[in-house]
Chain A
């Protein structure tokens, strides 16, 4: 007997992600899913980004996804930021259920930005919606400009690419123009933001981009103010 189903394999993950998204937005949070290869500089980027946002009065928390260890969570903790370690114990990506459990450990009302640092992996996390507002791929100059062509799904999912380790650009053979062209073919709306977290180069544009996105999203969620009727 032939039984037709026709439904996404990740339907139950998508359902949980929608619940996460609703919960996060109701709490007024702006959530970013950071995806990259191992060692591209996600944690370093966060170590530099979070204090800059704090200077603007924005409070961040981090969900730290790693196969094993709490090394990255310890680094984030040193920036006096609430952090929840999610150890996948060998699992190659975060999913919406893991994120939902981790949210229980945070005071969501006391936050503006929630950062989800995914497991370092440019392939597997791409298919898993976590409930984020923004997906950002972190790509470092030594990885080369061919990555978007090789790992297309992550770049299709993302709204922005942060190109890190600009200080290594001259040593790396990365051609930024070629990268820009490849990205435009794959995802014409994608924003490319080159930075060097260590020297601070480009960080102002990254922060401005985040704040613009933050304000756009949170403005949508705010209830429309009632028209004030003045007396005649």
Chain B
């Protein structure tokens, strides 16, 4: 449910940037979403559509979610491990049960340190 306040934070940040650059209308906003960010993509989508019904530079703008993989680095041998689950961002289906930061498949040691997968980033936007 915090997707509502996330969308508001995104909208305000972009509106401020649009005003600063003297742009008129935003067509598309790009967001990077990690499977471990705690965000439900469809809830984010829904909240965005409600927000984009309001008049203003974001009216009818699209929100594009770009899934990112989960990546971790072994603190012992430095090997990186990637969990590709990014295409399915649904929280219920996130790859968390597979996540194993305790054992490194290369050196058998560990632990591993999460280096990606928790992010929720505004990548940028397209505007005229």
Query: Footprint of B on A, CB under 8 Å?
Result: 1-13, 91-93, 95, 121, 123-124, 126-128, 149-150, 152-154, 156, 184-189
Question: Quick one: closest A residue to B2, CB to CB?
Answer: A124
> How many whole Å from A204's CB to the nearest CB in chain B?
28
Question: A12 to B5, alpha carbons, bound, how many Å?
Answer: 12
A92, B2: Cβ atoms under 8 Å? yes
List A contacts of B5 (CB < 8 A): 91, 93, 95
Interface size on B, residues (CB 8 A): 40
- A6-B121, A92-B1, A124-B38 known; A149+B9 contact, CB < 8 A: no
> Helix, strand, loop or mixed for chain A's interface?
mixed
B128, A1: Cβ atoms under 8 Å? yes
> Helix, strand, loop or mixed for chain B's interface?
mixed
A152, B36: Cβ atoms under 8 Å? yes
B2, A5: Cβ atoms under 8 Å? no
Query: Can you identify 16 A-B contacts, CB atoms within 8 angstroms?
Result: A2-B126, A3-B126, A5-B122, A5-B125, A8-B121, A9-B122, A12-B13, A127-B38, A127-B120, A149-B96, A149-B97, A150-B92, A150-B96, A152-B36, A184-B102, A188-B111
A185, B102: Cβ atoms under 8 Å? yes
A186, B124: Cβ atoms under 8 Å? no
